C-alpha cells in the first residue's frame, strides 16, 4: 500500500540524516501492510497517518527552524483528521 505522505516523510528524513527514524518508519509500514486485508485500506491508512503525525510532531520540536517540517506536519494532521471522521461513531441523539 502506497501512502504518499509516508514517501514524503521518508524523503525528509533522508534529507535530515535521520537514518534510525527511516528504519522505524519502514518497519511500521511493513507491519501495517500485513493487516490491510483484515482491517481495510482506510483503517490502515489512518494508522499510518497517525504514526506520521506523531513522527512529524517530534521533528517539528527537534527542527523548529525547518519550515518544511511544520508544513508537512500540518498537511498530515489535516489528512489524518479528515480520514478519522470516517471511523467516528455518530453521536447518540435523544429520542424523547
Residue 91 confidence (pLDDT) above 70: no
Let me know if residue 94 belongs to a domain: no
Instruction: Collapse the DSSP code of 64 into the 3-class scheme (helix H, G, I; strand E, B; otherwise coil) and give the result.
Output: coil
Segment 2-42, tens digit of pLDDT: 889 999 999 999 999 999 999 999 999 998 887 766 678 88
DSSP 43: H
pLDDT value of residue 2: 82
Give the cell for residue 75.
498537511
Going by C-alpha positions, the residue among 21, 11, 4 that lies closest to residue 59 is: 21
CATH of the domain at 61: 1.20.120.460
- Tell me whether residue 11 is in a domain: yes
- Examine residue 92 and state whether it is found in any structural domain, yes or no: no
Contact 1, 36 (CB under 8 A): yes
**Domain coverage including residue 50:** 4-85
Q: Total structural domains in the chain?
A: 1
Q: Can you give the pLDDT at residue 12?
A: 97
pLDDT for 38-67, tens place per residue?
Answer: 678 888 899 999 999 999 999 999 999 999
Q: Which grid cell sits at 77?
A: 494532521
Amino acid at each position: 500500500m502506497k501512502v504518499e505522505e509516508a514517501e514524503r516523510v521518508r524523503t525528509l528524513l533522508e534529507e535530515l540524516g535521520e537514518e534510525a527514524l527511516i528504519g522505524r518508519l519502514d518497519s511500521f509500514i511493513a507491519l501495517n501492510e500485513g493487516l490491510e486485508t483484515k482491517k481495510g485500506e482506510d483503517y490502515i491508512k489512518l494508522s499510518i497517518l497517525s504514526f506520521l503525525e506523531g513522527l512529524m510532531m517530534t521533528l517539528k520540536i527537534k527542527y523548529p527552524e525547518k519550515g518544511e517540517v511544520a508544513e508537512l506536519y500540518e498537511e498530515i494532521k489535516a489528512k489524518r483528521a479528515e480520514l478519522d471522521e470516517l471511523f467516528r461513531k455518530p453521536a447518540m441523539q435523544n429520542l424523547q
